[in-house]
Amino acid sequence: MFANLLSKRPSDKSNGHLPADHTQIGAADNLADLQARLVEMEARAREINLLNEMGELLLACRTLDEAYTVITQLAGKLFPEAAGALCVISPSRNLVEAVVTWGEAQVTPVFAPDECWALRRGRIHAVTSGQAGMICRHVIALPPVRSLCIPLTAQGETLGLLHLQTRNSGQPGCLTEAKQQFAITVARQSALALANLTLRETLRNQAIRDPLTGLYNRRYMEESLEREIRRAERRDASLGVVMLDLDHFKQFNDTYGHAAGDSLLRDLGAFIQANTRGEDIACRYGGEEFALIFPEASIEVTRQRVEQLREGLKSLAVLYHGQPLTRVTLSAGVAVLPEHGQTVEALLRAADAALYRAKQAGRDKVMVSG
């Protein structure tokens, strides 16, 4: 009897342990899970490091253009599975411009704010290929497999949007929920940096620009002239300095009033900005008097450029309350480094003396110092 019982003892395959092949499969599954988690953790650590790097670089930026460059360089690393664009709303609030793109993003360079569902609704807008009718109108070409728009909001103001898109649904990490949350974090950090830089540039412009004409103020001009003199001396180059003055401006004010005079000065500031180069420095020196700095300009080049300004001003139509005002003329004095001086004071004094001679000679003239 005991022998029969012993003979029915469970075999090795039924002793409560998994078969050898099942054990191996389970171990392989566990190893695959661990490897997948490790890859995910490494990806998250990489994202955090890149996000920290972007944050540090954005804090070190001094202009919006520098910030756009930082975002351009890091966006492809932050979102390797997607193309995208950083879009900024214009100061007038009626246009949105894609200032940064990466990964051949298919977006309209400039579009209206209401062409983006995220900007309309004020919150994130995600679209898959099954929702083609809800794709934002700023997305061009073929509908993407996935599309994501996140408003850039900071200090209670919407500055623009972060847009991501992908056309390959089989790519790992293809705008998953986790990736969308990461994109929201990137958008918040970018928006805060852009808001701070915008405020900084606004304050700086208020410190160095004349509020009426938009030209640089006298203090900035004098500092810039000192810098340009040193630069010209290092390069053994010339430097043109010009003093301009509107003719009979007091009479104009007495005839039309100070408000009309301000309108004239404002239009003159816009005229000067439109007719000078990016490297030139134009400032309102005081009242109706203006100063110009022309880097690397000889006496003849400086005189010719001022003559063009003088002639061009005669065709400037100034309107006040819809009515055209009397056309005005200007007089100008020209001085050049090194012929007429090698210091800020000497060059300004020489240009001012030439301006006085132009006034004495009947106005509406350009005179060269000495």
Q: What's the rounded Cα separation, in Å, for the pair 153 and 122?
A: 9
Which is catalytic among the residues 288, 296, 300, 345? 288
Q: What's the rounded Cα separation, in Å, for the pair 98 and 71?
A: 12
Residue 209, CA distances (Å) to 165, 194, 204 in order: 41, 21, 8
Half-sphere exposure of 117 (CA within 13 A, CB side): 15
| Catalytic residue flag (residue 288) | yes
From the CB of residue 173, how many other CB atoms can be counted at a distance below 10 Å?
A: 16
Burial of 363 (0-12, 13-18, 19+ CB in 10 A): middle
Which tokens in the block code for residue 21? 């092949």
Positive or negative, the CA dihedral 178, 100, 151, 155 is positive
> Which residues are within 8 A (CB) of 159 and not within 5 positions of it... i.e. 6 or more apart?
88, 89, 152, 153, 191, 194, 195, 198
Residue 121, CA distances (Å) to 60, 108, 117, 175 in order: 33, 20, 6, 21
User: Could you give the 3-state DSSP secondary structure of residue 267?
Assistant: helix
> Which residues are within 8 A (CB) of 232 and not within 5 positions of it... i.e. 6 or more apart?
238, 239, 295, 296, 337
Q: What's the rounded Cα separation, in Å, for the pair 197 and 215?
A: 21
**DSSP code of 215?**
S
Sheet strands (E) in 177-299: 239-246, 281-286, 289-295
Identity of the residue numbered 86: L
Active centre residues (catalytic): 288
